[in-house]
Structure 1
Amino acid sequence: MTKRAALYLRMSKDDAGSGDLGIERQRTAAEHLAKAKGLEIVPEWVIEETASASDRRKTRPGFERLLLGMAAGEFEAVLAYAVDRLVRGLDDLTRLIDTAEEFGIAVSTVSGDIDMSNAHGRGLAKLLGVVASIETDNMGERMRRRKQQNARNGVVRAGGRRPYGFTANRAATVPEEAEVIKKAAARIIAGDSLTGVVWDMNRRSVPTSYGGAWTLARLQATLSRPSLCGRVSYKGEVLRDDDGHLVRGEWDPILTDDEFDQLQIAIKARRHDPAPVNNRRRHLLSGLMRCGLCGEGMLGFKQRSKTMTYTCGPRRHLSRLMAPVDAHVIAMVKARAEEAFFPVESWSDGERQAVQRQVAMLEERKRAAALEFADGSLPADMLRTIADDLQSKIDTLRETQVDHHIDMQTVKWVNFPFENFEALDVHSQHAAIRMFVSKIVLLPAGRGSRKFNPDLVQIEWRDLSNFRFSAVVESS
């Protein structure tokens, strides 16, 4: 009676260049082996493994199925091209030997049979398993070196989740996503909070690269990738060539080097943003509204009718439609802003501040190079070259910096008209209102009263004389 055999095939990543030929060579050789041994390969037990052997943490579904088939008596023999294609270490080999011994399964490879019937054969099999384990480690090391060399050559790295702003193969940018990154970077560099940018992106239904909502951590990770400005990194390290220059990728950058460096400085300054996105502000006057009966804060609520109201938080004994209250407060604050003036203690030159930001950015680059030298990833001669080049740029900036005469030193009071207020996100709108307003008290309306009465909205204004501002003169 012809014995049935399972055939196990697995293509090594070293065969990647030959595509399906690696599998077909194994199949052809194994079929010749089966014919020579008088075995019949069972079609449903031809297993083509796709899981890599180089990562031992990953389960190989095909190998696990093979062991189950051996235990279930689905076949009497196992064929493979070589031991290192069948097992990837002593753990796999031990499981294979134990299962084969227990259920009387013959194991044969093109390079020779594995005799499980005596100690000599089992010992030889274990020796082959050690060789397979060494080859697996060597292959992993070759793959790591290949990836590192590709990174140093600026070759686009494929695989994994598509990074926001780039196509799946990383070779080109996605124009609309690149524009989102540019605008977010510009806002953060200008002083906007990370939380406010995240809230605004979610408000406008701007999706992530896989269609989800933005979080603070996700935005930080997206805007901190060196690839945004064309730099190449490997395992978190920004790579440099033998001359100490930054390695450049083959893709088009979204940000310039200066924009990216300024962005990283701004992100670090805001890394401990006190307002988590999960508690993001949804309603304009939250935190300012007070109940006229109990003095407690009033929160935004959606009623069954789908209308939004400000409602007394603890007792809910006072409620008012949100839209007319917001509109009234905005109108009152705009009028107040036209007439109110803030005292200015000092003036500074906007151009000087711009130069100072550039100097801070270059100093940050020097610090990063020093850290690379400290951890051994940057040779001393490269550090000197980089530091000298950056210091030269810093000295040039400081030498060319001109102190402009400020003609407005005699101006002691300024006002802040609400220009483009509606274009701001709710965080910025709330901050602008809070400059003028200390709290807003909603008084109860009479029975049966449904019409909005602005007299029941009492605004407590801030004493602007308590503010002290430092103003900036921007060159025209």
Structure 2
Amino acid sequence: MQDQHRVNRETASRLGWTVVHEFTDNDKSAAKMGVVRDDFEAMLRALMTGKLPDGTPVRGVVVLANDRLARRPGDYERFVEAFTYNDGFVFADAKGPANLYSEDVESMGLFGVVISKMEVRMRNSHRARAVSGKVVGGPCPFGWKGDRITLEPDEAALLRQAAREFIGGRSLYSIVMEWQEKDVRTPRGNYWQTRTLRTALAKPRMCGFRELDGEVVRDESGNPIVGEWAPILTPEEWYAVRAIVDARKGRNVKRGGVLGDVLPDDYREHRYLLTDILRCGRVKADGTLCNTPLRIRRTPDKQRHIYYCPDKSVGGCGGVARRGDKVDEFVSEAVLAKLEERQMRSSEVPSLWSGDEELKQALEERNELARGLATGRMTSETFFIAIAPLEERIARLRSEKSRADAAADSQRKRAVTDIEDVRRRWYLEEKDGGLPMSTKRTYVREVFHAVIVHPAGKGRTAFNPDLLEPVWRAD
């Protein structure tokens, strides 16, 4: 009865069997030649004699997986021979009981051993390549030439620009729509979709890091392994992309980049600057504000847009309306002034992560476990049982630190953005090099929670910016 960490007692109990002993060889490979697995040999002796050294009867074996039992043909043949030496023994794995006395069991078992051995070799090969930073096979990724090492300049430039605009707040959908208009295709010749672009930007390869089984491969000091290919993004840019992607996992992205779990996705690129940001400031009979998000309607000549509160039948009050171009101009200038103020103050934005001490302690615990194993104060089995949850904890803390550092770095870069260039592009059409609407809305939401529009009174009145009440975000 053998398993990497424990015998599958649940399987035995379900079958009405009783576990009388556990044989473990957790720190010894079943695939390597020359490795003597003491508990495996003891199990074979118990099967042959039908009892344990203390005389306890043995009548079968339960394993979690056959590849933990034997990964070499010779070992599997020895196991079947010992098992069938006596009649009436029972066998089960995680899938359920099996008859090892049938004629084809040995050939099927040997086939499984061969497959398992191939899988082990494949995993070892991938791990070795990952640690050395070598390029692996497969289709050539977008952004690189056929050797998978050298950058393809035009494609790399597209990915670099897309990542930076995504960090700046532009939606992936709008980027994909632009690429489709330009007939930019994936390596397989398909049009880009939001999902495929998000996957491409989030891959560690983008900044030169090596990935294995969905995780960044690290050296013994915890530093990412750098591959031999040319990177497209800096590590800071890639961490910023991953921070955004990870924050949205399993959630819907609603209008204005707001995360939610109920409403369907809103993939549209907004046409107007302040939808969902302007709120009705008319006071209701109970003394509270209407606070309904203002909607858009066009003037009869289609030359301008109007922000207005919808009528009572759809949840508003119908008591506020304002020229859209005037409101957009006022809010835009307020946003640009705030960006200029930030730039004049300081570009030093500290990381808000507070887990340095916890990470340091976890690393010290890991080192102490390693010393205990090296000096013989701890058995291999105890070491591997203790190290597994600790490694998960260290990986989680490092991931949290990376996201926090990336967010702070993104904020620092935003603080030193050339505000003159932002101001110049703010009022240009996007086709002429202007900022995408989603990017401008990101800046607005960085500065304001909302802008309350108070009633201007009856009749036609001049635009009064004092009736716009910004709800500022704290810096």
- Do these two structures clear the TM 0.5 threshold for a shared fold by scoring above it? no
- What's the TM-score once normalised by structure 2's chain length? 0.43
Structure with the largest fraction of strand: 1
- State the TM-score, normalizing by the size of structure 1: 0.43
Q: Which has the larger radius of gyration?
A: 1
